[in-house]
A and B are shown apart, each in its own frame.
Chain A
Amino acid sequence: MNDISRTLIIRAAEGDMGAFEEIYTAYASYVYTIAFRITGNREDADEAAQDVFLNVYRKLAGFGFRSSFKTWIYRITSNAAITIYRKRSKEKGRNISFDETIDSGHSIEPDIGGIDRQHDEKTVRGFLWRLPEDQRACLVLREIEGLKYEEIAQVLKIKINTVRSRLKRAREKLIAIAGSEGGAR
């Protein structure tokens, strides 16, 4: 994800809808991918992504350029997705299991072509869904978004060593799962 121009942000903050649509176009797939990977389904990803862009619109004037716009968007997105995931878990009174989401209509596979691609997608979702949401968010930001440890720490407002320990635990767990299910691929 690249940072966009300061001018575009200022124009959008002044109420220029064309400028805000440009921001949306630049970031929509990044925001949506993170939201989907953390919440695990399209309905919640839709809700999280909508919350993100409405929050961005609401807070643009106070952005202040004290951090990078990219970090700011990642932070709002991670917060929104984790909040919605926790809300859903609370509504159900427990963590939603991977098997449950696969079996129910709650989980809709994204439109990805090809049997191999769909198999890979199922593997990825199977991995992520078995992790606690804080480890899942760290892993998504690292592996899918390619953020450095320092960037992840800024986005999630945690210490770098917490980033390390969450990634370590997540990977240990996934290695164990892959081992018990016959390999990652």
Chain B
Amino acid sequence: MRCKKIRELILTDHIDGELSGDISEKIEKHLASCPGCRKVKEEAMDIAASLRSSARIDPPETLWKGIKEAIEEGRIPHENDLLSGIRDFLVVRRPVLVSAAAAFAIAAVVLLKSYVYDPLVLNTYMEQQMDFLDYLDNGNGGADGDTGIPFEDLFL
């Protein structure tokens, strides 16, 4: 392996103990003969040691007091209300019921679509209505009192 790749591994998996034994051995072998890569490892280890030895920091005593007060005054409700109930219903607890509800919804949409919104049905209905209006416009309607019997025959 070349120095560039070795240094990448030194700064990540190698010093963090995430490498397999074989690769670690290869790196150690390289380090034994490469002062540049050895220096990178030493510097990275120094920084890691500084950070790893840093003190854990305790919160001030007032922190718990503030949290407890906020909860006890009811400003922070548990999220076990309607929203989490719905989420649990949908995501976790009722997969069969949810599947059934989804299938019913899809079937309802398909049926309604075919009866109400089917373009073929709608076009046929509109054509029938237009034919009827044409029929009336051509003097076949009853609006003018036309009975369909010739005028002279009414006096015979």
A interacts with B: yes
Binding site for B on A (CB under 8 A): 13, 15, 17, 20-21, 24, 28-33, 36-37, 42, 45-46, 49-50, 53-54, 57-62, 64, 110, 112, 117, 120-121, 123-124, 127-128, 139, 142-144, 146, 148-149, 164, 167-168, 171-172, 174-175, 178-179, 183-185
B149: Cβ under 8 A from any A Cβ: no
B84 engages A61 (CB within 8 Å): yes
Please name all residues of chain A whose beta carbon is closer than 8 Å to the beta carbon of B124 when the two chains form the complex: none
Closest to A179 in B: B43
Cβ contact of B8, chosen from A142, A146, A168, cutoff 8 A: A168
Cα separation A179 to B70 with both chains bound (whole Å)? 47
B50 in contact with A36 (CB, 8 Å): no
Interface size on B, residues (CB 8 A): 41
Instruction: Enumerate chain A residues within 8 angstroms of B43, measured Cβ to Cβ.
Output: 175, 178-179, 184
Beta-carbon contact of B54 and A120 below 8 Å = yes
Q: Assess A164 versus B64: contact at CB under 8 Å? Given A29-B58, A57-B78.
A: no
What B residues does A62 contact at CB under 8 A? 79-80, 84, 87-88
Chain A residues positioned under 8 Å from B63 (CB to CB): 28, 32, 46, 49-50
> When the two chains form the complex, which single residue of B13, B52, B71, B72 contacts A144, counting CB atoms closer than 8 Å?
B52
A31 to chain B, nearest CB (A): 8
**Does A28 lie within 8 Å of B53, measured CB to CB?**
no
* Chain B residue contacts of A60, Cβ below 8 A: 78
Q: B71's closest neighbor in chain A, by CB? A: A57
Bound CA span A82–B12, Å: 23
Say yes or no: B79 contacts A54, CB within 8 Å.
no
> A117 — which chain B residues lie within 8 A by C-beta?
55
A144→B51 contact, CB < 8 A: yes
- How many angstroms from the CA of A77 to the CA of B85 in the assembled complex? 25
Pick the contact of B48: A13, A17, A143, A168 (CB < 8 A). Answer: A143
Q: Is B68 part of the contact surface with A, judged by Cβ < 8 Å?
A: yes
Top 8 nearest A-B pairs by Cβ distance?
A61-B80, A143-B51, A184-B46, A32-B59, A124-B54, A62-B84, A171-B11, A175-B43
Contact B51 A124 (CB under 8 A): yes
Name B92's closest neighbour in chain A (CB-CB): A64
Answer yes or no: B56 CB below 8 A from chain A CBs: yes
Mark each residue of chain B from 67 to 90: 1 if its CB lies under 8 Å from any CB of chain A, else 0. 110111000111110001001100
Find the residue from B40, B58, B88 having the highest chain A CB count within 10 A: B58
Residue pairs across A and B with Cβ atoms less than 8 A apart, 27 shown, are A13-B80, A17-B68, A17-B72, A21-B64, A24-B67, A28-B63, A29-B56, A29-B57, A29-B59, A33-B56, A36-B57, A45-B59, A50-B63, A50-B70, A54-B76, A57-B76, A59-B79, A62-B80, A62-B87, A64-B92, A120-B50, A120-B53, A143-B51, A149-B13, A168-B8, A172-B11, A184-B46
Instruction: For the complex formed, measure the closest distance between the CB of B9 and the CB atoms of chain A, giving whole angstroms.
Output: 9
| Contact of A148 (CB < 8 Å), options: B18, B77, B78, B92 | B18
Query: Which chain B positions have C-beta within 8 A of A171?
Result: 11, 44, 47
Closest to A66 in B: B92
Q: Quick one: which of B18, B47, B76, B92 contacts A174, CB cutoff 8 A?
A: B47
List, in ascending order, chain B residues with CB within 8 A of A164's CB.
12-13
